[in-house]
Structure 1
Amino acid sequence: MTLPDDFIKYTRQLMGDRMWQTLEAGLAGEPPVSVRLNPFKCNPDVADIACGDGMVPWCANGRYLKRRPNFTFDPLMHAGVYYVQDASSMFLERVLRRYVADKPVRVLDLCAAPGGKSTLARSVLPEGSLLFCNEPVHGRAMVLAENVQKLGHEDVVVTNSYPADYGKSGLVFDVVIADVPCSGEGMFRKDEGAREEWSLNGVEKCRRLQRSIVQDVWNCLRPGGLLIYSTCTFNVGENEENVRYVADELGADVLPVDTDVSWGITGSLLEGFDAPVYRFLPGLTRGEGLFMAVLRKHGEDCGVSEKKGGKKADKTRAGAKKHAVTLKDNGWIDGFEDYNVRLCDGFYRAVHRWWSDIYDVADKRLRVIHAGITVGEVRGKDVVPAQSLLLSRAFRKEAFPCVELEHTEAVAFLRREAVPLPGSVPRGPVVMTYRGCPIGFQKNIGNRANNLYPAEWKIKSTYVPADDCDIIVRGKDDDCLVR
């Protein structure tokens, strides 16, 4: 690996020869592979991981693998049973469990694509919490929405807006996660492009951009609220200097997080700044490069996120009433009476009553691309059930006939090929499952079946794996794998 000369000079001077040599050796090695199990779809206590190599110590559902398999051909990954994520990024769980544990909160993940930190956050937040996750770049926002839907939790909103839009929205949050764009030094061993594009000038541009992003959303964070600031880079300009700026200029205290010395996490490298910060360095920690700090905004704690019960009266918007009774009678969603229905661009969204008013504000002032559960698409007089519905933990699988697929059939289905159905299957939507887990819909029209899997989500590779590519090989006693 060829590292930029200026990076070597700067980082060696910052860290000293001994730490630099450890980092240099770590960057030259193979990056560890890790996955995080989805507790809404998988029982982590009984899941047996193929080629497993231990638990991620700061994340209860994180697992290391001995090698990197071909995840593309594992249907359970596409179903959201697990998420492929670098172990260092899973440190967010340690922070949330330390400071957000006993009551519902309203959280904004500001720069969220592709969705690793968002899906992790939603999996550990208290029930009754509401998560907004945002990505300014449209293409990346669509990937974020896909991964959030695969997680399956209904109390999530995905937006495609700028930080300044949030600053003007009037929405207020208990926690803001700012995994800000950075110079990407922590990705050097995975991404040749990051090495080629790096420059000292680029570091300075990132440092200024990161400050402006935090400034744009500072009014969205309530007094006493938490800012979780992170980058995937090593230098102090984008890390400690920005944390100090937020603390001194915007008004915040830097908070500690309990760690274990065996994890190899490094503290502050900025002379004269001894606040608790957490730097993950390849060669010292088992993961990629990451920096994280937790700050509490000055001011009296005035929590904004108490869950309020919505009125039982039907608040379904005009235009959505046409099919609302049908959706309820079909029994597609558990507890349908607890949701309000919204018709958006030909799709029905179901959002919990207790945050419907918040959704309405967001829908007016931000670009919402996903919220709650997308129940179905209006096609003529019918409503075609949506992939978001099938992936939701509130989905009632028994509302549709189901067909279990073998691995090769499941991969073909995920390529958006039509999979033959047994003659006994009735006409209409059919749930296709793999190892009992729903992966998509087909519509049986009698002489053939139409594959309804989202075209933008399909497996594009035509390669046919010789063996099953399952990461979760079985549950204890070969059951309890899928919730």
Structure 2
Amino acid sequence: MELPVSFADYTRTLLGDEDYKELVTSLESEQSVSIRLNPLKPFAFRSGEHAVPWCTSGFYLEERPTFTFDPLFHAGCYYVQEASSMFVEQALKQYMGEEPVVMLDLCAAPGGKSTHIRSLLPDNSLLIANEVIRNRSQILAENLTKWGHPDVVVTNSDPSDFTPLEDFFDVILTDVPCSGEGMFRKDPVAISEWSPENVEICRQRQRRIIADIWPCLKPGGILIYSTCTYNTKENEENIRWIRDEFGAEVLPLDVAEEWNITGNLLQGESFPVYRFLPHKTQGEGFFLAVLRKPGMSVRNSGDKQLISLAIAPETPGLRVEKSREKGRKVQGKGKQTPGLSKEQLAILQKWIFTADKYEFIQKGGNVSAFPKCYIPELSALQSSLRIVQAGLEIAGQKGKDWIPCHALAVSGILVSDAFPCEEISYEQAIAYLRKEAVTLSDAAPRGVVLLTYKHVPLGFVKNIGNRANNLYPQEWRIRSGYLPETVVKVHS
């Protein structure tokens, strides 16, 4: 591996000759593969895998599975995530507490940390996952949908768009864009794009992001700062800047000595930070620090920044988002969309657990479930941000019928007997995920059927007898027509 000379000189000075040689050797070795299991979707995970010590649901794999051709991967049973970045769990567990929080993952795509965070947040918490690049925000939404937790909002906004939301979040994760030195082994392009000038650009961008988002953190709130780079300019120097500029307290974490995490490398400073180096820990390069905003911790957001939706429900328990045009119109068609009747709403409510916890929001021809207790927060978010999705998409209207959405099938709150189920084979599952027609058994009833693989919900079809119409999202389908002779799976 040919590393830039200026990177080599700087990093050798930072680590010392011996550590630098070991780092280079590790970068030339094979990258480890790790996954994190979804507690909402247990399955028969194969035994004998080595646990990631700082993550209760993380595992190193002995060989790389063929993830594309594993139906349980598409069902959201696990997420392929680099092990070092799972260390975010320690910050949340040690400083978040047990009360519900409103948390922001500011630079969230493709969704590794967001799905992890959503599994760790206390009950009745709300996660806002943001990505500034539009197409990446769609990938983020897909991964969070497959993960299956409904109490999530996905946004597509610049950090500066959040600034008006003053004192809004209890916890903010800023996994800021960086020069990517910790990705050299994983992504050779990161080497070609690295330069001292880019490091400086990244450092300034990181400070701009923190300055934009700092007002949104509640007094006493927690900011988690992370990068996937080694240098002190983007790491310790920025932590020192946040401390001095905003009066933040840099917080320590209890970590096991055997994890071999490296501490502060900035001369003259001793505040606690956590750096993962691949020659010392099994994973890629990663840096993390935890900071607390000065002031009293405030858990309840109150009324200060919240804006009432001020929309009268058409039926009890149902909200209707009206367009600026007169009446409710289907986008692009100009036709009136009839509201749900009480009978239809009652049917939808039977599809999910704890339906009384959720407000059913109709927008055009779609109905979503969103936690009632966070309706004011959702309104405040809508006033400042571009919302990609909010809550759980329950159903879409096709003609006079309301058809369950795929998000419902893979959600953790689907009532298992709300729809007839059909267990399918591996070959059928792959065909379904390719958006091909699926033939069900003669015993399968007509109408909407929930397909399961290994008894895990995979998605819906509409059985019409001689075939079943595939309701899997077209944009998520497996595009490859190739099937490997040997498929390595993470389950038995």
Same fold (TM > 0.5):
yes
**Alignment partner for residue 411 of structure 2, among 371, 392, 398?**
392
| Equivalent AA in structure 2 for residue 390 of structure 1 | A
2:362 counterpart of 1:343: yes
In structure 1, the partner of 2:159 is 163
2:380 counterpart of 1:361: yes
Following superposition, the deviation at residue 315 of structure 1 comes to 5.2
SS at match of 2:380: helix
In structure 1, the partner of 2:106 is 110
User: C-alpha separation between the residues in 2 aligned to 1:398 and 1:315?
Assistant: 24
In structure 1, the partner of 2:131 is 135
Evaluate the alpha carbon distance shift between residue 400 and residue 171 of structure 1 in structure 2; reply closer, same or farther with a 3 A threshold: farther
User: Equivalences for 1:48-87 in 2 at 5 Å?
Assistant: 48-49=45-46, 52-87=48-83
User: C-alpha separation between the residues in 2 aligned to 1:208 and 1:353?
Assistant: 39
Deviation string for 1:129-149 (max 9, x for gaps)?
111110010111011001111
2:31 counterpart of 1:31: yes
In structure 1, the partner of 2:347 is 329
Following superposition, the deviation at residue 360 of structure 1 comes to 2.1
**Alignment partner for residue 277 of structure 1, among 256, 273, 279?**
273
SS at match of 1:150: helix
In 2, are the aligned partners of 1:129 and 1:305 still within 8 Å (CA)?
no
Report the more deviating stretch, 337-346 or 268-277. 337-346
2:464 counterpart of 1:445: yes
User: C-alpha separation between the residues in 2 aligned to 1:364 and 1:346?
Assistant: 22
Deviation string for 1:146-176 (max 9, x for gaps)?
1111111111111111111111245600100
| Equivalent AA in structure 2 for residue 19 of structure 1 | D
Following superposition, the deviation at residue 302 of structure 1 comes to 2.1
In 1, are the aligned partners of 2:66 and 2:487 still within 8 Å (CA)?
no
Following superposition, the deviation at residue 120 of structure 1 comes to 0.6
2:398 counterpart of 1:379: yes
SS at match of 1:322: coil
In 2, are the aligned partners of 1:405 and 1:432 still within 8 Å (CA)?
yes
SS at match of 1:96: helix
Following superposition, the deviation at residue 25 of structure 1 comes to 1.1
Deviation string for 1:76-127 (max 9, x for gaps)?
1111111111110100111111011321111000000011111111101110
In 2, are the aligned partners of 1:104 and 1:305 still within 8 Å (CA)?
no
Alignment gaps of 5+ in structure 1: 474-483
User: C-alpha separation between the residues in 2 aligned to 1:120 and 1:266?
Assistant: 23
**Alignment partner for residue 208 of structure 1, among 197, 200, 204?**
204
| Equivalent AA in structure 2 for residue 32 of structure 1 | S
SS at match of 1:416: coil
Aligned residues: 468
Following superposition, the deviation at residue 411 of structure 1 comes to 1.1
| Equivalent AA in structure 1 for residue 75 of structure 2 | A
| Equivalent AA in structure 2 for residue 316 of structure 1 | R
User: C-alpha separation between the residues in 1 aligned to 2:84 and 2:464?
Assistant: 48
Following superposition, the deviation at residue 334 of structure 1 comes to 1.7
In 2, are the aligned partners of 1:135 and 1:159 still within 8 Å (CA)?
yes
User: Equivalences for 1:208-227 in 2 at 5 Å?
Assistant: 208-227=204-223
Report the more deviating stretch, 250-259 or 337-346. 337-346
2:90 counterpart of 1:94: yes
Deviation string for 1:50-79 (max 9, x for gaps)?
6x4311100011111112111111111111
| Equivalent AA in structure 2 for residue 378 of structure 1 | Q
User: C-alpha separation between the residues in 2 aligned to 1:321 and 1:354?
Assistant: 27
Following superposition, the deviation at residue 241 of structure 1 comes to 0.5
SS at match of 2:339: helix
In structure 1, the partner of 2:13 is 13
In 2, are the aligned partners of 1:222 and 1:304 still within 8 Å (CA)?
no
Alignment gaps of 5+ in structure 2: 303-312, 323-327, 329-336
In structure 2, the partner of 1:266 is 262
In 2, are the aligned partners of 1:113 and 1:135 still within 8 Å (CA)?
yes
Following superposition, the deviation at residue 441 of structure 1 comes to 1.1
Higher RCO, Cα 8 Å, sep 6+: 1
User: C-alpha separation between the residues in 1 aligned to 2:229 and 2:142?
Assistant: 26
Report the more deviating stretch, 145-154 or 342-351. 342-351
User: Equivalences for 1:167-178 in 2 at 5 Å?
Assistant: 167-170=163-166, 172-178=168-174
In 1, are the aligned partners of 2:424 and 2:453 still within 8 Å (CA)?
yes
In structure 1, the partner of 2:40 is 40
In 1, are the aligned partners of 2:420 and 2:445 still within 8 Å (CA)?
yes
| Equivalent AA in structure 1 for residue 191 of structure 2 | R
In 1, are the aligned partners of 2:439 and 2:466 still within 8 Å (CA)?
no
In structure 2, the partner of 1:403 is 422
Deviation string for 1:402-452 (max 9, x for gaps)?
111111211111111111112232222111110001111111123322111
2:331 counterpart of 1:314: no
Q: Normalising by structure 1, what TM-score?
A: 0.93
In structure 1, the partner of 2:453 is 434
Following superposition, the deviation at residue 343 of structure 1 comes to 2.1
SS at match of 1:293: strand
SS at match of 1:201: helix
Report the more deviating stretch, 417-426 or 279-288. 417-426
In structure 2, the partner of 1:479 is none
In 1, are the aligned partners of 2:168 and 2:217 still within 8 Å (CA)?
yes
Runs of 4+ deviating beyond 6 Å: none
User: C-alpha separation between the residues in 1 aligned to 2:88 and 2:363?
Assistant: 33
Q: Normalising by structure 2, what TM-score?
A: 0.91
User: C-alpha separation between the residues in 2 aligned to 1:2 and 1:455?
Assistant: 41
